[in-house]
Each structure stands twice: as C-alpha cells, then as structure tokens.
Structure 1
Amino acid sequence: MTDTHVTADQDYPLEPVPAQARKSLWSMGFVLLGFTFFTATMWAGGSIGTAFDFSTMLWILLIGNLLLGCYAAVLGYIAARSGLNTALMSRFAFGELGSKLSDVLLGFTQIGWYAWGTATMALLLVKMTGLPEGLTLPLMVLFGFGFCVSAFVGYRGLDLLSRFAVPAMIILVAVSLTIAASDAGGLSGLSSVIPSTEMSVAAAITLVFGTFVSGGTQATNWTRFARSGKSAVLATLAAFFLGNGLMTLVGAFGALVYQQADIVDILVAQGLATLGILMLFLNLWTTQDNTVYNFAVAGCNLLRTERRRTITLVGAAIGTLLAVLGMYAWLIPFLILLGTFIPPVGGVIMANYFVSWRGRYPEIGTARLPAFNLVGLTAYALGSLVAYASAWIAPLVGVLVAALSYVLIELAVAGVRERRAALLRSAG
C-alpha cells in the first residue's frame, strides 16, 4: 500500500485536497444538507414561533439564516480555493501552536453535539416505542458507535448516506408542513395566532444564527472538496440558508399549530408516529456522522496525525461516554454559549486570508509559520470579549469585531515593520 493511497483513504486531514479528489456541487450539497437537517435547529425555530406573529417570524428566520449562510459561504469559498479545512486554515491565522486553540474549541463543541444526539435518539426511541427503560443505556452505546460508521468511511460514506436520507427527509417535512398548514386553517389562520411568549428581535436572530454557527465554521471540512469557489458558495448557501432555514421554519410551524417544536412530536401529533421514528433516525444520523467527522479533522490537526479513522472511533467513544453520563441534559445551554466564542475564529480566518495572504495561502508543508500569531490571537480575544458583552446579535458581532480588529492590528504592525526597515536602510 502506497503513502498516496493511505492519505487519500484518510480524506486528506493534514494537506490540501488534490484536484483529482474534488467533488461535484450535488455531492457537497447533499452532504451539507444532511448536516444542517438537525433536531436542535427545529427547537430554536419553535422558541421563535411562540414569540412573534407569523410575518415577523418569517422575517427573523430569513435574516438569521441569510447571515448564517453568508458567513459559512465565505469560509466555504476560502476552503475551495485553498483545499484546506478550518483546522489547517487556523495555522495561518493563529500560528502552529496557536491553532490548537481552535482545534480544542471546535472539536469539543462537535463531540458535545454528538453526545446529545446519541442520548436523544436512545431516549426518544424508548419513549415512542414503549421499550423497557433498562434498554436506554445499551441503545446509547449502539447508536454512539453506529452513527460513526459513515464518518469512519469518510467523505464517500457521508455522501452515500445523505443521497438517500436528504430526499426522504425533505418529503417527510413537506408532508408535515402541508398537514400543519391545513390544521391551522391556512394563511389566515396562521396570521391570527397571538404570540404566547416574549423575545427581542435581536435575541431571536442570535438564536437562529448562533445555534448552528459552530457547524458553519467547520463546513470547510466538505467545501474543501469543491471543484470551484462558486460551487462551494452555492452548496453552502443551499445548506445553511435554505436547509437550516427549512428546519427553523418547521420548528416555528410546529410551535404555532401544535405547540411542539420538534418534527418527531409534530409527526406523532399528526398521526404519523412510524414516520416520526424514521425521521428522527435519519435526522440525527446525517448530523451525527458529520459532527464526529468534524471532531476527527480537528483532532488530526491537534495531534498532527493522519489517522482520521482512529480519531473518529475515539470521538465516538468519548461522545458515547458523555451521553451515558447524562451530560446532554445540561450541554445545550453551554454549547449555545460557545456559539459566542466560535464565530470569531471564522472572522480571524477570513481577515487573515484576504489581508495577510492576499487570497492565496502558501504550501501548508513549506510555509514558515510562527508558533503563535499574536495578531490573530489578539483579534480573536477582542472579538470574543465584545460578543460576550454584546446585547445585539452576539455571533455576528464576534465575527465582525474579530475581522476588523485583525485588519487594524495587522496594518499597524505592517506600518511599524516598514518604518523599522526604512530606518535600517537609512542607517546603512
């Protein structure tokens, strides 16, 4: 077995994706849509659906998902042009050792979602089928390792699963939305619903943008396989604007009509319990395999190893253990909080790519990079601090402040270097 074959088999975790391994727009679109079809996103939509009238709710979902789609699309463009994932881009933005900060942040967040999804599948299956509660923990172990099979295979496994699961989920969602609209009495019935809770518009947009922004930050793990920057942008927008938008809309519809945000509970209320179980399984599997894949890619960069499959199994084991220990019960608020600290990573990467590298990274293996890029780390700290203190759309504030801070600090540092160089020339 040659080294080239081993590298290709491991999905290029530490090097650019070569031209011969690039994928089509359709392939990436299916994988990314499978990733964004996520139960937790529906719950976010449900929270918004009970707090606003129908027209305001639609505007909030449109703005929040458009912001998320644009953020992920810019990172997707950089990934397609460079062939690199977020973990490798972080080496340029934060330094060889500094990039480990983003590896830990992104990796832990993803394995946290994996633990939550694994536990949710087991708990709801027992609840919906009437199985003995004693089977809950064995089911968590079964799903914890079963969900990682397609991720273990790699991009090809994610692609094959998504090509089947995504159309099936779209059909189920369409059927459910049609029934819900009918039960609500059509558009006039939806428009007459009175909000039962309160939430500010800024908080609502933050919820839409922030719940899945960690996934958008790591969508580069698939868009790096794109054949062109245009394909990456289109696939990312389809997933994070349209796909994520559809999930939040389903949750909002459920909250309006049935006072339920989750698609599974909605399908049960509509008399479609069997389809609800199928929907739950497909919904979680197509997200679970992507999250553990993300963990593996971040882990490969953290440990500087190409053993992606080994890291995938380790991630599944950690996620399963966390699920069994009950961490999922308090994990969601913590992960949403991390949504404040993850977006600045993307902001720094964008600014670093377009300002410092003029839209073209050098070869990852030959570039002489500092252990810590103080400009990038400082910009990240400022973005996170301002986002944490912001009463506005915290994830968006974090991206913008981090990117702007990077540009200003980089320009100031460059000016100092030029003055020093001029003084040395005059002294010589």
Structure 2
Amino acid sequence: MTRQDPAVVAEPAQATSHELDPEFEHTAVPQESRKSLLTVSAVWFGFPMILTNAVPGGVVVALMGFWHGLAAILTANLVMLVYVGLLSHRAGSTGESFSLQATKTFGKVGYVVAAGFLATVVVGWFAFNTGATGATLHQAFGWHEKLVAVVAGVVFIAITFLGIRALSWLGAVAAPLFIVVGIIALVIVARDHSLTAVFDYKGVGGGAALTFGAAVSLIMATFADSGTMTADFTRWSKNGREAVIATATAFPVASLVAQITGGVIVAAGAIASAQTVGGNFLPILTSGHGAVLSVLAAIFVFVNLGSVCSHCLYNGALSWSHLTGSKMRVMTIVLGVIGTVAALAGVWNHFLDWLVVLSVFVPPLGGVLIADQVVLRGKLEGRVASAVRPTAFAAWAVGAAAGGLVHWYAPQFSDAVSGLVVALIAYVAFEGISTRNATATS
C-alpha cells in the first residue's frame, strides 16, 4: 500500500453523531473544528501535574537543598514556558500538528527521522508510566504487578482511542485530584515533621551533589519530548494567543505544583533515600491511614498516571499515523500494545538515564523548529518543498553535540538549554549561508 500525500488526504471536518470526532492526522485542524480555551487548557493542565513529575522535583531538592532546588525548578519551568509557548503559538495559528511542522522544517522525507524519533520516545514514556502503575500499586497494596500493568495499559489505550476530547476530560479530573491528594499528603507529613524546617533544608551532602545547570536539564527533560510535540494539543486552539495561554497552565503552573509538592515533602524529611526515589509521596498515603485513604490512593495512581500515559500515547499515535498513512486510532492500539509489552519488561528501571538522553537530543530538535517556524517564519511562504533539508539536520546535530559536551565537560551549565540555543543559532546561521550561496550562484 502506498503512503498517501498528506496534502491530499481528505478528512471530514465534523463527525456524524454516531462517530468519534476526527483527529485530522494528515491535515491542519480547520477553524470550525477548533476547541475552546478551557478544553485545550484542560488537556495541557492535566498533563504535568502528575506523580512522576513530583519525583524529579524531589530529586533536585534532595541533591541541592530547598532554595537552590526551587530556583532550578522555577528556571526550568520558565524556559519551558518560552520554549513550548513559541511552538504552541505557531500551532494555534496554523492548526498544524507536530508532524506537519516537522515536514516543513526537515523535509517531506527528512521529517521521518525527527517525527519518528520523538514519536518513539513518547511511547517509551507510555511504557514507563504503565509499568510504574503496576509497580506502584504492587508496592503499596501487594497487587500483582504485571497484571495491574496489563489492565492499566488496556484502560489507557481505551482513553487515548477516544481522542483529544477524552484527554481534556481526563485532565480536568487528574489535576484537581493531584491537588487534593497532595494536600492530604502534606497534612500527614506535618503530623510528624515540621514544615517550617523545609526552608532550612540543605540537601544530601550539604546540597552540592548536583549542579544548577544539571538540575535545570533534569526538570526540562521530563517534558521536553511532549513539549516539543505540543502542536498535537495546541493545534486545536482557536488562535495562537489561546494556544500560549493553554501552554502556560502547564508551564509553569501545573508543572510547578507537582515538582514543588515533591520537593517540599522531601525537604520535610518524610521520604527515605529521596536522592533516588525523589518526591514519590504515595507511600505516605498508604502507610496505615485507613481503607478510605487507600482507595483514594489507588484511584489517584490510575487517574494520575493514566493522564500522562494517554497524552504520550496520543502524541505517538498521531505522529506514527502520519508517518504510516494510517489513522490515529489504529496506531493507538498498535503502539499501546507495544508499550504495554515494554512496560512488562521493566523499562521504568532506567528513569534517570532516560532523562539524560532526552535532555541532550530533544531540545536541539525543538530549537531548530523554533528557528524555522518562528524566527524565520517569513521564509516559509513560497519556499519550495524539498525531500530533505540539510540545514535543519546540521543544526540539530550541532545542538546535540553542544548539549553532550556541556553534559560531560561543563555540568555547571544546562545541557538542555545549551543544546536548544546552539541549535537555534546554528540553524539561522546555516540558512543565512545557504541563502547567500543560492543568491551568488543565481
């Protein structure tokens, strides 16, 4: 079967009453199908406010101390606001998904590398959090770990299958539930620990175990991939301004709530080995506080981790459907099964290593997109479509190399930020050189 050209694939703007809404895998979302600000905000707001985002917040505070850790968390989230906000504004203005954005920047064939890379990475996040669901409930209640992971995988696939509207419903539940459970955890912690002592917390080994730059990269890496693919969510916004507002509900608001909650609980001394397990506060809720709280904790795990799993699977399925000329819902099932099998294999055991890889390779890709789609957006109009755009790949490579060098040889700086900025500057420079050369030979 030959792959259809995205430009000529016809997709209905509206679904009939007995059908699911179209997901516009191959075309821009038409204006009449765009969603309200509240709906798109619910999609993003319910994504970062999760238990697994409290983990890196706790790790950073444990290794740096409360105030230095808080500064790193705030810095990372402000960078993410600018980074994801710029890409979101473009998506809200055009209605184009991440794959369509990547096609313009990397070429009609070259985009396969960029989109395929990130679409696979986010399926890895689906696998990680599906496995974490089984592991967390096994540790908390003794439930069969692999069976829970399988059940969770099936439920998360079903939610994603319903599409963008289901993600907004889930987000509208997951975020408030996190706030309620987080407050309960803090109340329990306050019984045996002084919350005022949080402000004097110096961290493990006096707070010198992690550099500021490395901490910023660690925080950014948790959402660098889906943040780069933000267009899959914010293309549903009515315009660029609303897309940015929806993004701001995630970065810094929702992300900060999760990470600071984990950091405060760590700084209060309520989590053992916090430098490893971070701000995972679920055991606090399940340690002999009654059946009602245990039931709430179990629901919280499914809803909370289900939110991140569904969002990541949606990102992956949308891009892979475009890559294969298929439908988002078909790829949701295929990738969901693959991700669940990976979850059973124990991929969550490599969490911190995973974040290092993402912080080096993902932000430079985003930097190239920002340079092309935002900084040099005037050049997009009338530009001849090409199979591969060498300047985009060269800038991505330069940015990733810069990020790697910073990670290994200058850890006091952020490899994620360095790679992003270098890739952006490199792309602008390469495009300038390419334009001058083309002018000189014409």
2:284 paired residue number: 266
> Is 1:322 the counterpart of 2:333 in the alignment?
no
> Is 1:89 the counterpart of 2:109 in the alignment?
no
SS of equivalent residue, structure 2 residue 378: coil
1:57 to 65, 69, 81: 69
1:359 is displaced (CA, Å) by 7.8
1:75 is displaced (CA, Å) by 0.8
Could you tell me which amino acid in structure 2 is paired with residue 78 of structure 1?
A: R
Q: TM-score, normalised by structure 1?
A: 0.90
2:4 paired residue number: none
In 1, Cα distance between equivalents of 2:84 and 2:190 = 31
1:270 is displaced (CA, Å) by 8.8
In 2, Cα distance between equivalents of 1:213 and 1:183 = 36
Question: Contact conserved, 1:75 with 1:220, CA < 8 A, in 2?
Answer: yes
Could you tell me which amino acid in structure 1 is paired with residue 396 of structure 2?
A: Y
- CA deviation map 1:116-155 (0-9, x unaligned): 1111111222222233xxx332222211121121210111
SS of equivalent residue, structure 1 residue 358: helix
2:360 to 328, 340, 363: 340
> Is 1:224 the counterpart of 2:235 in the alignment?
yes
In 2, Cα distance between equivalents of 1:360 and 1:181 = 56
1:147 paired residue number: 156
Could you tell me which amino acid in structure 2 is paired with residue 248 of structure 1?
A: Q
In 2, Cα distance between equivalents of 1:183 and 1:64 = 31
228 and 359 in structure 1: CA distance in 2 versus 1, 3 angstrom threshold: farther
Computed over aligned residues only, the root mean square deviation of the Cα atoms, in angstroms, reads: 2.2
In 2, Cα distance between equivalents of 1:408 and 1:71 = 20
SS of equivalent residue, structure 1 residue 342: helix
- CA deviation map 1:28-85 (0-9, x unaligned): 1111122112333211111112123332222222111111122111111111111112
In 2, Cα distance between equivalents of 1:393 and 1:254 = 25
Q: TM-score, normalised by structure 2?
A: 0.87
In 1, Cα distance between equivalents of 2:230 and 2:193 = 36
1:324 is displaced (CA, Å) by 1.6
Question: Contact conserved, 1:148 with 1:313, CA < 8 A, in 2?
Answer: yes
1:248 paired residue number: 259
In 1, Cα distance between equivalents of 2:147 and 2:253 = 36
Question: Contact conserved, 2:65 with 2:267, CA < 8 A, in 1?
Answer: no
Question: Contact conserved, 2:188 with 2:284, CA < 8 A, in 1?
Answer: no
Could you tell me which amino acid in structure 2 is paired with residue 309 of structure 1?
A: R
In 2, Cα distance between equivalents of 1:102 and 1:354 = 18
2:138 paired residue number: 126
Could you tell me which amino acid in structure 1 is paired with residue 130 of structure 2?
A: T
In 2, Cα distance between equivalents of 1:311 and 1:142 = 19
In 1, Cα distance between equivalents of 2:358 and 2:173 = 32
In 1, Cα distance between equivalents of 2:400 and 2:202 = 36
In 2, Cα distance between equivalents of 1:30 and 1:163 = 5
Alignment of 1:368-407 (within 5 A): 368-390=384-406, 391=410, 392-407=413-428
SS of equivalent residue, structure 1 residue 148: helix
> Is 1:235 the counterpart of 2:246 in the alignment?
yes
380 and 160 in structure 1: CA distance in 2 versus 1, 3 angstrom threshold: same
1:426 paired residue number: none
In 2, Cα distance between equivalents of 1:225 and 1:155 = 9
Structure 2: give runs of 5+ residues left out of the alignment: 1-9
In 2, Cα distance between equivalents of 1:75 and 1:418 = 30
2:204 paired residue number: 196
2:220 to 209, 231, 235: 209
1:208 is displaced (CA, Å) by 1.2
Question: Contact conserved, 2:119 with 2:319, CA < 8 A, in 1?
Answer: yes
1:176 paired residue number: 185
45 and 316 in structure 1: CA distance in 2 versus 1, 3 angstrom threshold: same
> Is 1:308 the counterpart of 2:306 in the alignment?
no
1:269 is displaced (CA, Å) by 5.3
Question: Contact conserved, 2:152 with 2:302, CA < 8 A, in 1?
Answer: no
Structure 1: give runs of 5+ residues left out of the alignment: 422-428
Question: Contact conserved, 1:169 with 1:279, CA < 8 A, in 2?
Answer: yes
SS of equivalent residue, structure 1 residue 385: helix
Question: Contact conserved, 2:123 with 2:312, CA < 8 A, in 1?
Answer: yes
Alignment of 1:93-104 (within 5 A): 93-104=105-116
In 2, Cα distance between equivalents of 1:358 and 1:399 = 21
- CA deviation map 1:239-264 (0-9, x unaligned): 02111111111111121120251131
1:35 to 15, 27, 47: 47
Question: Contact conserved, 1:37 with 1:286, CA < 8 A, in 2?
Answer: no
SS of equivalent residue, structure 1 residue 173: helix
Give the stretch that moved more between structures: 373-382 or 324-333: 324-333
1:346 is displaced (CA, Å) by 1.1
2:371 paired residue number: 351
Could you tell me which amino acid in structure 1 is paired with residue 389 of structure 2?
A: N
| Aligned length in residues | 411
1:21 is displaced (CA, Å) by 1.1
Could you tell me which amino acid in structure 1 is paired with residue 403 of structure 2?
A: A
Question: Contact conserved, 1:113 with 1:291, CA < 8 A, in 2?
Answer: yes
54 and 338 in structure 1: CA distance in 2 versus 1, 3 angstrom threshold: closer
Could you tell me which amino acid in structure 2 is paired with residue 165 of structure 1?
A: A
1:331 is displaced (CA, Å) by 5.3
83 and 256 in structure 1: CA distance in 2 versus 1, 3 angstrom threshold: same
Could you tell me which amino acid in structure 2 is paired with residue 71 of structure 1?
A: Y
1:361 is displaced (CA, Å) by 5.7
